[in-house]
C-alpha cells in the first residue's frame, strides 16, 4: 500500500508539472 501511495504521489507531481508546463505554453 505504501508503494501505491508513493506511486500516486509521484503521478500527481508529474501531472502537476505537465499541467504547469502545458499552461506555460498556450496550445490547444
- Residue 21 has a pLDDT of 87
Residue 22 has pLDDT above 70, yes or no: yes
Cell numbers representing residue 2 in the block: 505504501
Which tens digit of pLDDT belongs to each residue from 3-21?
A: 888 888 998 999 999 999 8
Statement: the pTM of the whole predicted model exceeds 0.75 = no
> Cα–Cα distance between 9 and 7 in angstroms, integer?
5
> Cα–Cα distance between 14 and 21 in angstroms, integer?
10
> Cα–Cα distance between 19 and 10 in angstroms, integer?
14
| Residue 27: band (very low, low, confident or very high) from pLDDT cuts 50, 70, 90 | low
Q: Count of domains in the chain?
A: 1
Q: Which domain holds residue 17?
A: 1-28
Residue 28 has pLDDT above 70, yes or no: no
Higher pLDDT, 17 or 25: 17
Amino acid at each position: 500500500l505504501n508503494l501505491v501511495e508513493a506511486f500516486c504521489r509521484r503521478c500527481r507531481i508529474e501531472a502537476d508539472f505537465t499541467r504547469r508546463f502545458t499552461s506555460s505554453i498556450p496550445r490547444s
